[in-house]
A and B are shown apart, each in its own frame.
Chain A
Amino acid sequence: MTLTVQEFLQIDVPALLAAVLVCAACALVGNFLVLRRQGLMGDAVSHAVLPGIVAGFLVAGTRETLPMMLGALAAAALAGVLIEAIRRLGRLESGAAMGVVFTVMFAAGVVMIERAAASGVDLDADCVLYGQLETILWLAPTGWASLLDPAAWAAMPREVVTLGAVFALCLALVVLFYKELKITTFDPALASTLGIPAGLFHYGVVLLVATTAIAAFEAVGSILVIAMLIAPPASARLLTDRMAVQLVLSVALGVLAAVVGYGAAAFGPLWLGAEHSLNAAGMIAVAAGLILALAVLFGPTHGILGKRRAVGRLRTLVTTDAVAADGRRP
């Protein structure tokens, strides 16, 4: 089985584009979850929106983005209220309250999917949970020449356009409010005394994570999105001590994970002589995990090996000093 240009353009390019945009958007907003030490929030949001997405689909009866998005936002708001209520009334810490709410809501979503599927509605649990990158098709291009044809670009699949818009939104907000995001993340109390609404920025970040998670859900599913939110920023944090560099680096690592993961899923098995390709979203999450593992090992200052080297240097210094001191003794 050989790969034709047309197949590559029609099947792989749109899927790869969607994967790259998902990873870039998730990595960018994920930075603020990692820096605020609220990684669980991403997990909670991406799971809690599931019943909303299913409800939006069932009410509208189509796979249009808007009703699903509205349902998901409603579910995210409900989750926020429930978490706060359980935290206050049940006197639980917020992590525990989140754990209860998002698993229950996710379970409700799964039950809704199964009921809907049983009554013949076209909603596939696998797609919802693991994503459907492989089904994003761009039928317009016929060869390399099509890349210069505006009409072909106009026929770009809806999923890719949505993801592009969400990434542009995230990028614009982060650039516009960089200073305010930085101070409300580092020291919300000082931000408040300066007149910057730290609480509003907190909810803004949660809302942006929810929006990104919902947009990402179609491409990578509601389970794997958490890997995209956390792994690239966590890797980038290990490679730099400057916030701006971390943001840029996390997006670059997210894109790298998308390309490597998709490549491994789509072409890896073929090279190994197998017939079927692997689940792309799964391989992208694996690639993101591998990148994080490499950063943990080889990060210049925070990596395990880097730290060990620094200790080694110190030890050499101490022993040579001791030797020198010994030499001076009579």
Chain B
Amino acid sequence: MQYLWRTPGSRTTPEEASPISPSPLVIRDLTVAYHRKPVLWNVDYVAPPGGLIAVVGPNGAGKSTLIKACLGLVPKVSGSVEAFGRPIDKQRRLIGYVPQRESVDWDFPVSALDVVAMGRYGKIGWFRPVSRAHKEAALHALERVGMADFAKRQIGQLSGGQQQRVFLARALAQEAQLYFMDEPFAGVDAATERAVLHVLRDLDAAGRTVICVHHDLQTVADYFDHVLLMNTRVVAHGTVSRTLTPELLARTYGGQPVPFTEAAR
């Protein structure tokens, strides 16, 4: 039995949503407010099929909120979000999520493998335990981020970068088509940065779409193909070479200092 909360009777198989379907993500007129203060205002965005997309903007621009609103984790004031041509809450099995590392309690008594196996729960469904096949899939995902040796380790005994890689492996174990990642490069060591980048390129090569909140303007052009510049509203979006211009960045960051020294290309 699959988890079909909020959408009983509307089963979606991966075949139904083949890559031929429309854009992986269509956001229409999305507005989100916390305590009457708008955090996202009339956001419209159509993601190109496949590719690595960076969401860039100053602190408080609503980047994380955009991801959370897409995933249905914060209430929308208005607007709709579609994935592969259908409302996103009917496409859960096609969606992967890497939250910010600080969002969970790393003192929790579970191993790295347990956490990665959670990425398989959507495929396992109610009442059934995690089978050997699902554990092997989780272990394989850990291998892909270079963490197989730490599978049995309690998650609190891992370094920050290793914890980030566990989160990434969990998303890989979801075997999704569209990934949302909230600052996967934030505060990680060089080995983790390489591992995250490697995984992003693998996903890109496999035709997946990755939407990634990214804070470091220096590396946007190196790591991503597309960029969405935002500050509560969408300022601009498109390919990195055409969108990451000094003028558009200045508009995105308003009066705030743009957090890098030279304009990209």
Contacts and interface: CB of A to CB of B under 8 A. Distances in A.
Interface of A: 35, 37, 176, 178-180, 182-183, 185-187, 189-197, 237, 240-243, 245-246
A195 B4 contact: yes
Given A179-B121, A241-B154, A195 B5 contact: yes
Interface of B: 2-7, 68, 71-73, 89, 92, 95, 97, 99, 103-105, 108-111, 114-115, 118-119, 121-122, 124, 126-130, 154, 156, 170
Contacts of A237: 109
Nearest to A176: B127
Contacts of B71: 189, 192-193
A194 B114 CA distance: 16
6 contacts: A35-B108, A182-B110, A189-B97, A193-B72, A196-B5, A246-B109
| Interface of chain A: mostly helix, strand, loop or mixed | helix
A192 to B, nearest CB: 6
Contacts of B105: 35, 37, 186
Nearest to A179: B121
B121 A194 contact: yes
B3 A196 contact: yes
Contacts of B7: 195
A97 B126 CA distance: 35
Contact of B115 (A186, A194, A197): A186
A180 B92 contact: no
B109 A187 contact: no
A187 B102 CA distance: 11
Contacts of B130: 179
Q: Which 3 A-B pairs have the closest CB atoms?
A: A195-B3, A241-B154, A194-B122
Contact of A189 (B5, B99, B109): B99
Given A183-B121, A195-B4, A242 B109 contact: yes
Contacts, number: 83
A252 to B, nearest CB: 16
Contacts of B6: 195
Contacts of A240: 109
Nearest to A237: B109
Contacts of A185: 108
A205 B2 CA distance: 22
Contacts of B109: 35, 237, 240-243, 245-246
Contact of B110 (A186, A189, A195): A186
Contacts of B124: 179
Given A179-B121, A186-B115, A194-B3, 19 more contacts: A35-B109, A178-B129, A179-B129, A182-B114, A183-B118, A186-B105, A187-B103, A189-B99, A189-B103, A190-B97, A193-B72, A195-B3, A195-B4, A195-B122, A196-B5, A197-B5, A242-B111, A242-B154, A246-B109
B151 to A, nearest CB: 13
Nearest to B153: A241
Task: Report which residue of A176, A187, A195 has the largest number of chain B beta carbons within 10 angstroms of its beta carbon.
Answer: A195
A176 B115 CA distance: 19
B118 A186 contact: yes
Contacts of A187: 99, 103-104, 118
A195 B104 CA distance: 18
Contacts of A37: 105
A178 B127 CA distance: 8
B154 A194 contact: no
A195 B121 CA distance: 10
Interface-centre pick from B2, B5, B68, B114 (highest chain A CB count, 10 A): B5
B126 A180 contact: yes
B116 to A, nearest CB: 12
A183 B89 CA distance: 19
A35 B104 CA distance: 11
Contacts of A194: 3, 92, 121-122
Nearest to B108: A186
